[in-house]
Amino acid sequence: MTRLVVDASVAVKWFLPEEHSINAHRLLSEDYQLLAPDLLWVEVGNALWKRHRRGQLARGDARGILRDLRRLPLAIHPSGPLIGMALDLAIRRGQTVYDSLYLAVAIARRCAMVTADDNLYQVVKDGPLSRHLVWVEDI
């Protein structure tokens, strides 16, 4: 079983049809042990709020997605112990602390993270942290 950290850009695709959704769904097989920082709940919730605000998602559907997400077998890690590492990564790489927190979990758990966030991927893919990053289409 392959252990992978998933970010919100991947988790949203499990519930909403978007580009790369098919690949994101592959992660839900028994071949993977999925991990994420507790920030995942907030980021997915915010993505759903944006969809609702644009009239693309009903309130009940958004709440249902959050409920279904919480039922998935995700190993959720508290952000607090890794926030210092995430800040250091963010400063060094010039990316957000939010994105860096997912990388911090991957580094701490000695695995890779999967993203569908092209900006994050472009920043990290050719640097020293590239071994901790997988593009969703490469699943």
Q: What is the DSSP string of 54-75?
A: TTSS-HHHHHHHHHHHHHS-EE
CATH topology for the 2-138 domain: Rossmann fold (3.40.50)
Closest Cα partner for 51 from 69, 60, 26?
A: 60
Using a pLDDT cut of 70, give the percent of the chain over it.
100
Asked if residues 36 and 5 have their Cβ atoms less than 8 Å apart, the reply is yes
User: How much is the CA Rg of the chain, to the nearest whole Å?
Assistant: 14
Query: Tens digit of pLDDT for each residue in 45-88?
Result: 999 999 999 999 999 999 999 999 999 999 999 999 999 999 99
Please tell me the predicted confidence (pLDDT) of residue 45: 98
| pLDDT exceeds cutoff 90 at 125 | no
Would you call 2 helix, strand, or coil by DSSP? strand
Please tell me the predicted confidence (pLDDT) of residue 28: 96
Please tell me the predicted confidence (pLDDT) of residue 128: 87
